[in-house]
Structure formats: structure tokens, C-alpha cells
Structure 1
């Protein structure tokens, strides 16, 4: 991981080692959760009784936005957390529309960012937050932060994990053959990482393909206005560098704040 101040030289910071992260990341329970996720993908008709993977028929999706509020109330009232501490404790995950079949994929990074911002607002998350994502998800997080700053004037910190900056060609086109090649590469990457590839559910795989094709085309054509002033924190994988041209992958060309 490297940091770079705008207009200044790059300065290395300590490498992010797995052993230095929170001990919970090595908890065997995580392997159990991954196993359950693999079972649910391979056998979608199976009914789970595990607390960490409740059966979809056993809870009300409309009540989901209420759960984070219950958690934050607990932190304040029982644990004595301050407002700032509560904000740091929350991580809110956003799924790409189209994966569950309830909606179509949303074309365009700008439109996808708007969609996710509406989701956050509907769940009551309208205050201060940090937006982050991996790969293209980081690009979407960047656009979300850019839109928030454009509307409110308030800079929003962004965390990018192995995310490339916008491409130079807003008219770029990714045909189906190229999209399929990239899709297959991603699935093979799951195998190399020791994660199970989705199997046995042709409907789910077809949804994933539609979302992936839409998103990869959107990313290729993404060309936002320059000048975002919020801080950008970039984390790059040490064993598989994305680019050797610049430590910040040239994200500083799109921002006026520190990268």
C-alpha cells in the first residue's frame, strides 16, 4: 500500500500483511460460512437452519433496513459508543442490481452510483460515511463520492482496492466475445483464490453474466468530470500488481485531493 500527496513524491507505507489484521479473519467460522454459501449456490432448494445463513423464506426483506438501526442503538445504549465510534463500526454492503432477478442490471457507472445512493438513503444512511469497493466496485464507490461532493460540497473519503481509474475512451465498446473472456477469467480467479465457482444454477449464472456484461461495458465507457477533492485511499495487491507506471495507477489525474 502506498500513499501519495498531490504534487508530492510517492512515499511507501508498511505493507498490509494478513497476520497484522484482526484475528477474526483467521476464525474457522469464516470457513464454515464459505462452505454454507457454496452449498446454497450449488443446491438452491436446500433449506438452511444456520444462524449465519438464514433461509430466505424465514425473514421479511422489508425489515432489513431496520437491523442496522438495532445494532447502532445497541452500540450507543449498551456499549457506550460515541456517534463517531458507531460510524466507524458500520459496514454496509451493496449488491449489484440484477443478481437477484428482482431488477434489471443498471447500465452506466453514473446511474449505478445513483441507484446505490438511493439505496443508502432508503436505509437511513444519509450522514457521514466512507465509500469503498474492490475492482469495478471501487470505481462505482468513487462515482458515488463524486456525486455526493457535487451535490453537497462535502468531500467523501474513498477506499479503492485494486481499482483502475476511468479509461481514456468514453466511446469504448466491449463486445460479447471480450466480455465472455473477462467473465471466464473472473470465474477462474475464484478457483485460484480457493473459493467455489457458482455451479448447478443456470438461472443464477445467467443473471451473473448479464450483470457482468453490463458492468464491464459501463466501466469501459466511464468518463467522469475531473476535480474530485475527497481523499482517495488505494490498496494494491502486492503479489499481482495491476500497473507499474505509477504507484497510484494515475488516480491522481482525476483528483485534486490526496491519493
Structure 2
């Protein structure tokens, strides 16, 4: 019998992955907010993998309290995720997937792009998603993973924050409000450069942003998390001493 897989966070995304793991023949142990992961770790000290599927707001605390015996088995999938986040929690080599499908209650998963994966358990994640007909691919290097994470951040933050200003969907944003989209994107990339301590490839990233927009032209710009994302971005900009004038202008009007 295969070792079990732990799934921390049993929302829409966690449930998609759990179904894929089950179809591969792995027992799945879910961990909800009310459960003590330390108690479960005593019963299952050596799982095949530990998928952390909590939301962005809960990821820092979840990583902070993760049982030590699970830290070398971690799979991460959050938006706004970067290497600094897992390194701060002393997790050295997690498997990471940049999720490019949307799953909401009562609807099937909607794919924007194939989801890139990197890490020791990349094949496991790829196989699990294949079981539920979701496209993904395995990356060759940590550098490519950083690019993919920054690209996802660029897409999420640009469309959400620009959406506070102009509303509508991503097709309208790209075609009718390219000026505000590009101004927000440049501010977002200033922050991403600081967060990754590197000069990210802006031309490639902007092409990647347009590719993602074209993947689902009807995707709404402004999700419920948009104000919180803008607040977080401004907080990082303040720490870094960045001007991000467009983000600050939008914040003055909409926060």
C-alpha cells in the first residue's frame, strides 16, 4: 500500500488535488483548520507528500507551524508565492506549482494555461492533475520556477489592481486600458524585483502576461481579494522604498 498524502486545506483547490491523488491510489489524509497537524504527524510521520492548499492569508502561519518531519515533503500552490516565503519557514526544497486553473464552488475547473511544476514531487503532481484532466508541465530549473511565479504574480496583481480602477474583464483591460495596465505592471515588477532580489526579464514577463490574458479573455479583472492584494503590494513598496506612483494613486482612490 502506498504511503498517504497529507492535504492541508480542504477548499476547492485542495479537493481537486486530493481527487487526483486518490485516483493514483494514494490514501489521502485531509487536515482542516480545526485539526492539530502535530497530532497527525505523530500518526503519519513519513507521508508521500504534504500538499499545503490553504489561502494566501493563511500560508505564513501554516508554514510556521508545519511539523518538522513533514518539511522535506512539501508541495506549495499559493498565489503571490516566492522563494523568500518558503525560505523564511526553513523549507529548503519544496515542490511548487503555479496553478493556472480556476476552481470555484459548483463549477468545473477552468483552465487559463497549463500549470508549471518544479521540485522532487513534480511528477506526482503532474500525474495527479492528469487524472483529473488538467494540463501541467515540469520545469527544468529553479530559475524557470522563479520566472513562472513572478509571471503569475504579475498577472494576478496587475489585473486585480488595474481592475479596481477600470473594472471589466482582462480583454477590455488589454485592449482599452493598455496604459493603466502597463503602468500597474511596471510598479508590480518593481516590487517583484525587490522581493526576488533580482532584475527579472521584463520583456519576457510582459509577453507572458499577454499570453495569460489571451488564455481566458472573459476573465474578470477584480476579484474579492483585489483590495488586500493592493494593500500588501503597497506594504512591500514601503519596505523597499519604491515609488510605485500608479499603485499609490489607485490606493488613494479605492482603499
What TM-score, normalized to structure 2? 0.29
Larger Rg: 1
Structure with the bigger percentage of helix: 2
Greater relative CO, 1 or 2 (CA 8 Å, sep 6+)? 1
What TM-score, normalized to structure 1? 0.28
